[in-house]
Structure 1
């Protein structure tokens, strides 16, 4: 837990792709503790493209995990603002459907993220 909080400013804002917003160290700590208590495990988190400047970071990644007994993965991206070398505002975006090469017709678009 301490390692995660060390990367964030005390007044950080973390926005997950499916809606929750965690404001500050206390709420981030509660989120992580709850996720771990509900059998959350990161299997793999591969970052494919990380771009950094003194003020911001962006990344594309694939997140593979188990939670509540279900194994899942999704592709996503993060846009983050840095302050004093730490994340102060982080927003996550997730791909909502399997990627495919378009060949003149669209695949059905699911309305929920799995």
Structure 2
């Protein structure tokens, strides 16, 4: 499968609420590190993340990957991601954010997925109170700062 085809299958599986198809893009021991929900290890948990976690408070997902770059073992792609929130305070608003997907690959499968995303605008779109946004963004910043590979960049 080409990189472009894999990324389209990745996005399509989320948009179609097909956790199994999404998980099949990963190795058996693959890990998806979600910017909101944390790490999901193994295909069963990755499938549940899409089917249960993503769709718990959202619907009508749209995900597009742009400008992929890969050396065969690492893949980077800029993305745009949006969904309609079903949270009461969002009143059906569409949240949108941009980010960068970072994937480690082995034998044409994803071993690990990480992302860096600017989530704050999405929370504004969802009409979250400023105090709630500050708490969420502060937690995400602390988690990012705790990652060993980020320490040299933040020093």
TM-score (structure 2 length as normaliser): 0.57
User: What does 1:66-85 align with in structure 2 at a 5 Å threshold?
Assistant: 66-68=84-86, 69-85=92-108
User: What does 1:1-114 align with in structure 2 at a 5 Å threshold?
Assistant: 1=18, 2-34=20-52, 35-42=54-61, 44-68=62-86, 69-97=92-120, 111=134, 112-113=136-137
C-alpha contact (below 8 Å) 2:24/2:43 kept by paired residues: no
Query: Could you list the runs of 5+ residues in structure 1 that have no partner in the other structure?
Result: 99-109
Query: Could you list the runs of 5+ residues in structure 2 that have no partner in the other structure?
Result: 1-17, 87-91, 122-132, 138-155
* Higher RCO structure (Cα 8 Å, ≥6 apart): 1
Tell me the CA shift for residue 50 of structure 1.
0.7
TM-score (structure 1 length as normaliser): 0.75
Q: In structure 2, the residue corresponding to 1:40 is in which secondary structure?
A: strand
Aligned partners of 2:69, 2:119: CA distance in 1, in Å?
A: 23
Q: In structure 1, the residue corresponding to 2:36 is in which secondary structure?
A: coil
Q: Runs of 4+ in structure 1 displaced over 3 angstroms?
A: 110-113
Q: How many residues align?
A: 101
The structure in which a higher percent of residues are strand is 1
Tell me the CA shift for residue 12 of structure 1.
0.7
